[in-house]
Structure 1
Amino acid sequence: MHNFDETDLEILRLLAKDGRRPFKEVAEMVELSAPAVSERVSKLEEQGIIRQFTIDIDRTQLRRSLPLLATVDVRPECLDLIRQQLVATPEVEYVYTTIESNLVFHANAPETNPREWILEQLDPSMIVSYEVELLADTERSFTLSGAEFALSCAECGNTVTSEGVVTRINGEIKQFCCPSCEERYETQFERLRERAENE
């Protein structure tokens, strides 16, 4: 089990600000060698903490558009369908689901007729109401603290410490706080798989 520390947090902060930053540059900033940084990043990917490296595109620079934030009160039975439709819409950058099962999305609507574009995205029979706000500016902030940096056991939910266990189960990386939790999880997983195969 990789023992996470402040150096890992600093590597994450640096890569969150610029995912294309060379490992050599990161290494200089955290006072490690480039291979040591590469190894730490590989472990963070293996643990599922770094899911992917991506780019941040300002779509308003590519074509004339209006950035907006919309909150949609969706009929409960339509929530998944509307969310999938929004995620598949090229102009939509982020889709969030609130605890009240509302959808909030950030999009760059065509400048020519944003109201018409919004109504094209939302089937009136599936929504209760919606609110739209035009955005003057957007800015992303990446902050990580040691308190946030704790993995949870896939079996019991406790914090995974340096004595934890990492296992690949059915192609997915799982973290456990102890070998007992790992064994219980694997036993239950095998039971469920056998039951599914026999049905």
Structure 2
Amino acid sequence: MYQLSADDDFHYELLRILGIAPYEGSDIGEVLVAANKIEPLSMLSWSKSFDELATHMGKVAEGIDSSKYPISARNAHFKAATYYRAADFFLHGNWSDPNINTLWDKQTASFNAALKLMTIPGKRVTLRSKGGQFKVPAIYYSSGSSKPRPTIIMCNGYDGAQEEMYHVFGQAALQRNINIITYEGPGQPTVRREQNENFYASHAQSN
């Protein structure tokens, strides 16, 4: 297999980012250019490269007249969100790093801008966990059918973001008239940042 980076962890994450290109999650050429700037074993280099790409794509998105070209604007906002998530990914060894929240706020703003430009806008909702220990951030995507439709509930793995799930399975399901709900739990991005709920705390509460 051709290595996208001499660093195995970076190679894996680059494949993950490339994998969501078919459903507006990224652009292969843009990701490969960013990958070429990353120094193996340098997490700061990774973050810097994707932050620069995300910032550029965010400016592209803002420069598009979304009233005339909603698809192009949506696509650019979605990609900016992905690249901000990528810039954040390897920073979690030091939770005092302010970039963890700054980059996440930017990815959320970009993703929300894209949600508004969907044919049927995705809606963020907040649910309550059983027992009420924490809030459950979720996004509802409607297929638009007036008839009862199947609904898939999706959660990402480990500390993955719910936003990523739209590009992995969500858009494909909507194209097949299936409704989608994504959500995050303890230890995952929004719950960890906004409620300081981690995996361990959730396990301790359940016991």
> Smaller-chain TM-score range?
under 0.3
Structure richer in strand, relative to its length: 1
> Which entry has the higher C-alpha Rg, 1 or 2?
1
| TM-score computed with the length of structure 2 as normaliser | 0.21
Higher relative contact order (CA 8 A, sep 6+): 1
Structure richer in helix, relative to its length: 2
